[in-house]
Amino acid sequence: MRHRIAVIGGGPGGLTFARVLHRHGRHVTIFERDAGPDARPPGGTLDLHEGLGQFALDRAGLLPEFRAISRPEGQAMRILDTDGTVLRDWHPADDERANPEIDRGQLRDLLLGDLDVHWGRPVTRVTPTGQGGARVHVADGSAEVFDLVVGADGAWSRTRTAVSPVTPQYTGVTNVETSLDDVDTRHPELARLIGDGSLAAYGINRGLVAQRNSGGHVKVYAHFRAPLDESPGGSEEIRSSMLVLFDGWSDRLLDLLRHGGTFTHRPLYVLPVEHTWAHVPGVTLLGDAAHLMPPLGAGANLAMMDGAELAESIVGTADLDDAVRAFEERMWARAARWAGITAAGLDRLVNPDPAAAVALFDEVQPS
């Protein structure tokens, strides 16, 4: 039986779900609020784990293409003290493929192919029909009924309310994001400092991270503990406040902020570690919509794994609702484990004792 299936959100999880079903000859309608694939910057680099994101790409038949464009050298990691002293400098072996990096835009283009994406159609809500399906309500006033609606619409999911009353809560940590373009030409000293992968420095309840993307682009993140600030000011006001917050750090590190472009204020929100819901026929969630957690490398990987697993569960059974129920149980167990890991990781990275962050690096980095 060929069911009518919709996915809300064209991020890594939703596209993986649709791509795996497409590989099996199943059609999926994707509702995406962005007007097109290039409507806004796609975000920074992602490290795709062998047992999660890479596994999902394999199920989608895209692993060889991923390996051809990913950056294994991007796994490199350098840790500095706030005075600029190098504490750790790890480089991957030539054959290390555990967590190669790929730009979000490149991953999106890899997954998109000829999928049926309805661009510029933001969904306002999803309502179960009570007869095993769900109705998708779009901002233009239209509505369509599907046998299954999959919410892959992120932290502030409009689908989540169909199954759960839970909303994201502030972690007490805020990220401020900026970026450097053409870093090798315009800022060669910073390029050498960052290296091929990532650079991080940790102070008391704060840290700076720089991650190399492709094409000489670098994303810079300042994270710190602070009360929730819903009015941080404009970009230059945020830059000034960051330079005050990190005053006394090495000039080399402060240059990451001084030379940054636009500054964006991003408070970090999470869903409860054990977030589950009573099963609702016709609707389910995956990725951040289901298990929002701190951005420590697990989110996109889990979303893609969710998408691939749900798609294969649907293909492998005649009973759509049973397949979704079984998927939810597996997803909840996996997500709870990772939510606990990332919550503990955030506490150690943004910590009164900076040594806790370095110790965490030593525990998780290959020897």
**5-36 pLDDT tens trace:** 999 999 999 999 999 999 999 999 999 999 99
Share of residues in the chain with pLDDT > 90 (%) = 94
pLDDT at 318: 85
Rounded to 5 degrees, what are φ and ψ at 280? Answer: -120, 115
What are the start-end ranges of the E strands in the chain?
5-8, 29-32, 45-47, 77-80, 86-90, 101-103, 116-119, 123-128, 134-138, 143-146, 148-151, 169-180, 198-203, 206-212, 218-225, 264-270, 283-285
All CATH 3.50.50.60 domain ranges of the chain, comma separated, are 5-72+97-168+271-349
Confidence of residue 237 (pLDDT cuts 50, 70, 90): very high
How far is residue 277's CA from residue 365's CA, in Å, rounded to a whole number? 35
Confidence of residue 41 (pLDDT cuts 50, 70, 90): confident
Q: Which two tokens stand for residue 332?
A: 């909840």
Rounded to 5 degrees, what are φ and ψ at 73? Answer: -65, -20
pLDDT of 239 over the 60 cut? yes
* 278-297 mean pLDDT: 97
Q: What is the pLDDT of residues 134-163, one digit of tens each?
A: 999 999 999 999 999 999 999 999 999 999
* 273-280 mean pLDDT: 97
Mean pLDDT, all residues of the chain: 96
> What's the CATH code, domain 5-72+97-168+271-349?
3.50.50.60
pLDDT at 38: 87
Closest by CA to 108, choosing from 232, 216, 15, is 15
pLDDT of 1 over the 70 cut? no
**CA dihedral of 230, 236, 237, 239, whole degrees rounded to 10:** 90
Inter-CA distances, 255 with 85, 190, 264, Å: 15, 8, 17
Confidence of residue 64 (pLDDT cuts 50, 70, 90): very high
How far is residue 361's CA from residue 250's CA, in Å, rounded to a whole number? 21
Contact present, 257 and 239 (Cβ < 8 Å):
yes
Contact present, 205 and 221 (Cβ < 8 Å):
no
pLDDT of 300 over the 60 cut? yes
Q: Is the dihedral of CA 173, 85, 246, 200 positive or negative?
A: negative
CA angle 313, 315, 316 (to 5 degrees): 65
Q: Which two tokens stand for residue 241?
A: 């406040």
All CATH 3.30.9.30 domain ranges of the chain, comma separated, are 170-270
pLDDT of 190 over the 90 cut? yes
pLDDT of 4 over the 90 cut? yes
Q: What is the DSSP string of 27-80?
A: --EEEESSSSTTSS---SEEEPPTTTHHHHHHHTT-HHHHHHH-BGGGG-EEEE
pLDDT at 42: 78
pLDDT at 2: 79
Q: Which CATH architecture has domain 170-270?
A: 2-Layer Sandwich (3.30)
Q: Is the dihedral of CA 188, 240, 224, 42 positive or negative?
A: negative
pLDDT at 367: 54
How far is residue 9's CA from residue 17's CA, in Å, rounded to a whole number? 11
pLDDT at 201: 98
pLDDT of 357 over the 70 cut? yes
Q: What is the pLDDT of residues 305-351, one digit of tens each?
A: 999 999 999 997 889 999 999 999 999 999 999 999 999 999 999 99
Contact present, 7 and 31 (Cβ < 8 Å):
yes
